[in-house]
Amino acid sequence: MSKLDEIRTANQQYQQSFPWRHLDVPPSRNIAIVACMDARLNLYEAFGLKTGEAHLIRNAGGLATEDAIRSLIISYKLLGTREFFVVEHTGCGMLSFQNSDLQDKLTADTGTDASGFDFLPFSDLKASLRTQVDKIHSNPFIPKEIPVHGLIYHVESGNLEHVVSLGVKDQASELAGQIA
C-alpha cells in the first residue's frame, strides 16, 4: 500500500466521526505560533491547545521568513490573533549544516548551481530565536503592542523554555500610571 493509499484510508475513517464542523475560522485563543516543522514537536499538547484554538505556521527552523510574517499579518489583521509565539527547539537540523554544505550537494545532484539558495541555517539556537522574535516585533505591519514570545522546546523533555518576549507591557509602569 502506498503512503497516499494509507492516508486516504485514514482520512475515510476520520471523516466518519469528524468533530470540527462547528469551529469558527478565527482561532478561539487568539494566538498564532511560528514553529519548526520538526515532527517531534506536538505543539497542541505542549501548549495545551485543541483544534481551532491557534494558528500554527511551520517551516524549517521556526523562522520569521517573509511567508511566515505574511501569515502572521493575515492572522492578526483578518482573524483576530493578539499574541504571537516563536518556537525553536533543541536538536534542530538547522544547527547541523552550513549553507554551502547543502548548496554543494544540490549542485552535484542536479547539475544546477544552487549557490544563490539560502537555506537559513543557524549556529546559535537562542540567538536565532531572539532574531526571529525581533523580526516579527519590528515589522511595520504588526502593531508593537502585540506580544511576541520566543520559546525553546526541549525535545528531550517537552519543556517550553521562555527565552524572550517583546511587546509585553511593563506591568510596573502600567500600575504606576494608574496610581498617578
| pLDDT tens-digit map of 108-144 | 999 999 999 999 999 999 999 999 999 999 999 999 9
DSSP state of 123: S
Q: What is the pLDDT of residues 4-20, one digit of tens each?
A: 999 999 999 999 999 88
Domains and CATH numbers, the chain: 33-38+54-92+133-180 (3.40.1050.10)
pTM: 0.90
pLDDT at residue number 175: 40
Q: Element (H or E) spanning 14, and its range? A: helix 3-16
CA 28 to chain centre: 18
